[in-house]
Amino acid sequence: MAIKLVREFKHTQQLSITPQLKKSIDLLQLSRLEIINKINNEIEENPFLKKDYENQLNGMFDDKNLLDNLSSEPTLQNHLESQLSDLKLTNGEIKISLFIIQSLEENGLLKVDLDEIEEQMAFVYSVKEIKIVLKNIIQRLEPAGIGARNFKETIFIQLQRKEIPSEELEIANKILFEPQFSNFEEAKDELENYYSRSAIEKVLKKIKQCDLSPGLEFESTIMIQPDLEVIPLKNKKFNVQFKKENFPMISLDQDLEKLVKDKKNKANKELKEKMGEAKWLIRAINKRNETVQNVGTLICQKQADFLSEKSAELKPLSNIEIAKQLNISPSTVSRILRSKYIQTPKGSLSMKSLLASSVSKTRKVTPTQLMEEIQKIIDGERKKLSDQKISDLLNKRGFNLARRTITKYRKKINLPSSRNR
């Protein structure tokens, strides 16, 4: 059989990441502090860049102060670990405690599932043992609210620590964890049938005073620099603005640009490249700030009830949903959410912490809401219901959940199966 050489032409599409595109992607994921640092370095290295002092808004710190002494404050992890040494703990409790502390988000909340911690610790300790350490050790450390798995839990831990009257704690428990209440107004109207209005209003006031990010006070104040600020308006509405305070505004040195463009002056190739880099950086930073504001504004609009203190529950919101509405890629949203903060009436919150996944494709239900529903069904069952029966009950209400989903979240709240209940 003869071998023949045949020439063929093929059209293929391939995504190439240019150096400038890669730089743009890198800029998106920089925190406010990191991008301020980058801008200042670029100003020193590129003669075409200058600070626009006319439009610069300075706060109580200048740029140099913002970049000095990054480790001047103790970290949350160091603060919590130092408290462990004062407790009489077993070796196992110490190992679990240290692992949980290192798994905490910078705001002090625990977003990692307990079964994931069990797996990462090579199944040496069970979910039940990990949960006991979390409840009895981590959540009793200072500041109050550390180790909570959602905003509702951190509020309740703080209220317990304040040692408020038992009736108020009972009201708070119902307001926060009863699944039928979608906001504070609904809870207030229903609970007035059982408690006095003054007692309910007193509890709501205490709920709204709780710190939703107890861990941030132990991060260096330099590290927590919000990019956005929520400005309350009339009629309980708000506006989301990019914080220009302490952010270096840069512009192109037009005098130097004219010299380079003047044909009488034979500008070398390196100078022209520097000028091009300066123009690109200004556009890229403006685009980065605009995208951060667009993503932050959409998040705040979706979580308006939570931010305006009408509810302690986040609405389901994912990267993909944000990406679709803003017509950008989910990976861009993920980069934007990295180390970005919003100054809200509830304090500084990371943008990422305002997202909540939905466990159902047909109905927006957060994992917290589903666990509350499962807990309520099991608490009210007359005969022991299997996970399939619980799934059937919820599906009649439009949840569209598989049995394995019920099993997964039942285990997360440490409830035994129907055989063992």
Residue 135 · residue 380 · CB < 8 Å: no
Q: Which residue has the tokens 């951060």?
A: 292
> What is the C-alpha to C-alpha distance for residues 21 and 153, in angstroms, rounded to an integer?
42
Distance of CA 280 to the CA centre of its chain: 30
d(C-alpha 159, C-alpha 362), whole Å: 35
The beta strand positions in 96-225, using DSSP E, are none
Give residue 90's identity as a one-letter amino acid code.
T
**For the chain, domain boundaries:** 17-54+223-357, 76-208, 367-412
Please list the residues that pair with 252 across neighbouring strands.
Answer: 49
Q: Does residue 201 register a pLDDT over 90?
A: yes
Spatial separation of the C-alpha atoms in residues 143 and 77, rounded to whole Å: 12
At residue 59, does pLDDT exceed 70?
Answer: no
User: What tens digit of pLDDT does each residue of 219-268 get?
Assistant: 544 467 899 999 887 776 788 999 988 888 898 988 887 877 776 667 67
The mean predicted confidence, pLDDT, of the chain is 84
| pLDDT number for residue 168 | 93
Lowest-pLDDT range of 40-54, 188-202, 273-287: 40-54
Question: Per-residue pLDDT tens for 150-187?
Answer: 999 999 999 999 888 999 999 999 999 888 888 898 89
pLDDT given at position 174: 92
Which residue carries 């209003």 as its tokens?
A: 201
Tokens of 304: 């308006």
Asked if 84 contacts 98 with a C-beta cutoff of 8 angstroms, the reply is yes
Count CA atoms within 13 Å of residue 106 on its CB side.
19
pLDDT tens-digit readout, 97-149: 999 999 998 889 998 888 889 988 989 999 889 999 999 999 999 999 999 99
**Mean pLDDT for the stretch of residues 32-56:** 84
CA atoms of 108 and 169, how far apart (whole Å): 22
CB 141 within 8 A of CB 100: no
pLDDT given at position 60: 44
Tracing tokens 């070398």 back to the chain, one arrives at: 268
Q: Does the structure show a pLDDT above 60 at 72?
A: no
Determine the residue type at 254: Q
